[in-house]
Amino acid sequence: MFRLARMIHTKCRDIKIPYLRSNVFRTPVPEDKVPWTVDWPEYKPAEYTSESLKGKPWADPEDPRNLQFNEIDGNVNRKSHFCVYAFDNDGRPLNPIGRTGLRGRGTLGRWGPNHAADPIVSRIKNGKLEFVAIKRHDNGEWAIPGGMVDPGENVSQTLRREFTEEALGNVPAENLEAFWEKGTELFRGYVDDPRNTDNSWMETVVFNFHDEEGLLDDCRFEAGDDAAGVGWIPIDDKVPLYASHRDFIQFLKEKHGKC
Ligand code: BGC
């Protein structure tokens, strides 16, 4: 498994644009003030939790105090992949990487970790390493076709389901059973996602499924509801990728020793 170099989040400290689908701007957080261990008594970040979370079955209640943090809470995994996280004075989980300039949950459903899974489906075509990417609706960036782990679901189910929903337009691809069994884990941990806040953040598990036999060569991809486009894209440093996906693709390159 690969590890990220010392993680200082940047995409969730962006002050040039408002937080996703809002007019709320983050409070600027200079890099040296990111760690909670650096004293900053004047830090009073903006607060934002999207109204769209209210009453949603997949979202936590407004009051976090009765939730079983750092545990498997019923069928919701509230454990972090990489640490036991701490809390602020209101009982809200604290982002383990540090300050983001925004309190609340933003558009994320869970207080604390929000778990995703990312399948990198790759192949070598004409000597070049390629992977299946989707174009995201929310910010137009290319991304691995991953998604959120549903309550009670395990990561391997999510990887398969998300790829089917987002890249295969829900048409079940035949003969892929053995292909899905042969994935290898590339990464597990924190994601520098633009939606992260001081109290809610994204974590993911990244698996690589490498198509050695050309099983997917004739496969017709179709963008699902969450995607505006889908297809094989070459590993190219110039294409901007969502959140920490560039790092994950770097791990893929290191694994296959190609570009
Ligand atoms: C995306 C994943 C991504 C995760 C963290 C999810 O919404 O579907 O691809 O890794 O967010 O950014």
Ligand 1 pocket, mutate which of 193, 230, 251, 252 (most atoms under 8 A from CB): 193
pLDDT tens, 155-203? 999 999 999 999 988 777 777 888 999 999 999 999 999 999 999 999 9
pTM of the shown model: 0.94
Whether 77 is in the pocket of ligand 1, judged by its Cβ within 6 Å, is no
| pLDDT value, residue 87 | 98
pLDDT tens, 229-244? 999 999 977 888 999 9
Whether 159 is in the pocket of ligand 1, judged by its Cβ within 6 Å, is no
| Residue 211 and residue 123 in contact, taking contact as beta carbons nearer than 8 Å | yes
Q: How far is the CA of 42 from the centre of ligand 1 (A)?
A: 32
Q: Which of 163-172, 200-209, 248-257 has the highest mean pLDDT?
A: 200-209
Whether 166 is in the pocket of ligand 1, judged by its Cβ within 6 Å, is no
| pLDDT value, residue 127 | 92
d(CA 217, CA 170) in angstroms, rounded, equals: 18
Q: What is the mean pLDDT of residues 41-58?
A: 97
**Which of 72, 99, 100, 80 lies closest to 188, judged by CA?**
80
